[in-house]
Every structure is written in C-alpha cells, then in structure tokens.
Amino acid sequence: MDTFETLRGIITDKFDIDASKVTLDATLETLELDSLDTFDIIFEAEEKFGIKVPNDQVEIKTVQDVVNLIDRLRAEQGKK
C-alpha cells in the first residue's frame, strides 16, 4: 500500500472522517484537525512506516505535505 493510502487509513480511522474528503490537496485545517491531532497522526505514521519525525519538521499544512515528509524520511532513514 502506498504512503497516501496508508495515511488516509490513519486519518479516517482515527477521526471518523469520510475517506473521500482526505485528498492530497486537502489541508489539515479544512479536515478540522488541529496541531495536537497532527501529532497524533504523526505518532501513528511513525509506527506504521518505521520512521522518526524530528520535532522541527512537524509544520505541515496539507495531506500532500505529510506524504512528502513520510516519503523523504523513509528514504533518508531507511538508508541508515
């Protein structure tokens, strides 16, 4: 399963948000997710993807931002 599909699964499962609303260009704000909710999503993503998101990289606006962050960290941290 690709990054987006997995991330969408995390968001819909945690927050009871309709999957059709979770698109790549959706902002977390329009999904009514605040900064604490973002931490919660990142926590799950770290578990599922086996990555560690540094504290200074949790400033994200859209679902695409999260997908990019996860993919970049998977590539970087997977090489270690």
Partner 1 sequence: MNKNHRVVVTGVGVVSPLGSDKETFFANLMAGKSGIRHIESDFAESLETKIAAWVDFDPLAHFPKHKANSLDRVTQFALVASQQALEDSGIDLGTQDKERIGVYLGTGMAGAASLEEGYIRLYRDNANRLKPFTVLMAMPNAAGAQIALDFVLTGPNLTFCTACASSTISIGEAVRLIRSGEADAMLAGGSEALLTFGTIKAWEALRTLAEEDPENAGASCKPFSKNRTGLVLGEGAAMVMLETLENAQARGARIYAEVVGFASSSDSAHITKPSPEGQARAMRNALKNAGLQPADIDYINAHGTGTLLNDSTESAAIKLVFGDEASSTPVSSTKSMHGHLMGAAGAIEFIACLMAMQQQSLPPTMNLNDPDPECDLDYVANKGRVGVKVDTVMSNSFAFGGTSGVLIAKKL
16 contributes a contact to partner 1 by CB under 8 A:
yes
Q: What binding mask, one character per residue, do residues 33-52 give for partner 1 by CB under 8 A, x or -?
A: ---xx-xx-xx---------
The residues, ordered by sequence, that sit 6+ positions from 66 with a Cβ below 8 Å of its Cβ are: 7, 28, 41, 42, 45, 60
CA-based angle 43:47:50, to the nearest 5?
A: 120
Binding status of residue 14 toward partner 1 by CB under 8 A: yes
Query: Under rule CB under 8 A, how many of the chain's residues touch partner 1?
Result: 9
Q: Is 29 in the site for partner 1 (CB under 8 A)?
A: no
Tell me the C-alpha distance between 37 and 34, whole Å: 5
Query: Interface with partner 1 by CB under 8 A: which residues?
Result: 14-16, 36-37, 39-40, 42-43
